[in-house]
Amino acid sequence: MSAPQIGIVMGSNSDWAVMQQAALILRSFDVAFEAKVVSAHRTPDLLFDYAASAQSRGLRAIIAGAGGAAHLPGMLAAKTIVPVLGVPVPSKYLKGMDSLLSIVQMPKGIPVATFAIGEAGAANAALFALAILATEQPVLAQKLADFRAKQEATVLAMDLPDVV
Ligand code: RP5
């Protein structure tokens, strides 16, 4: 088993249903990743350790999902220069708008790349992480091009039903 290139972290195991969409994408591209629960407010020491060791452990990007007052991506970014890709997880009462605004509104100086709320965001964060890796891995670049071509063919083959 090769060392993980991408870290997937989330504030709770209740985020996994959304965040596993990122894992599924990475697995389909045969890219080694790790997935772990790291809570900014419930396990702050773990958060610091994870971020502080990310670069030396070989992680090339961290996909971080959280819901509510979602400070996990921003706090990770504060402690590492490894790119952090934030995924707003839908929340019970505000449907993830709270998560989105918490993640996207990083003050100047510490960037977090922010994706769509929910499963599309998790999947796109994984595709973005692959694009980062693909800048230095031609085999992966070709796989991404193939992925795009397959999507294109699917849409071009779409039919619409007759008007009734
Ligand atoms: C956040 O609180 C997590 O990211 C999760 O989205 C939300 C709810 O967590 P649980 O109460 O399900 O553990 O920290």
Q: Is residue 164 part of a domain?
A: no
Domain coverage including residue 69: 6-156
Q: Which residues are annotated as a binding site for substrate?
A: 12, 15, 42
Q: Is 14 in the pocket of ligand 1 (CB under 6 A)?
A: yes
Spell out the alpha helix ranges (H) of the chain. 16-28, 44-54, 72-79, 97-104, 119-134, 138-156
Is 70 inside any structural domain? yes
Q: Which pLDDT does position 4 carry in this prediction?
A: 98
The verdict on residue 1 lying in a domain is: no
CATH of the domain at 10: 3.40.50.1970
Please work out whether the CB of residue 88 comes within 6 Å of at least one atom of ligand 1: no
Segment 90-104, tens digit of pLDDT: 999 999 999 999 999
Cα 92 to ligand 1 centroid, rounded to whole Å:
10
Residue 45 within any structural domain of the chain: yes
Q: Which residue has the tokens 């994706």?
A: 115
Closest ligand 1 atom, CA of 91?
A: 6
Domain membership of residue 146 (yes or no) is yes
Reported ipTM: 0.96
Predicted TM-score (pTM) of this structure: 0.97
Number of domains in the chain: 1
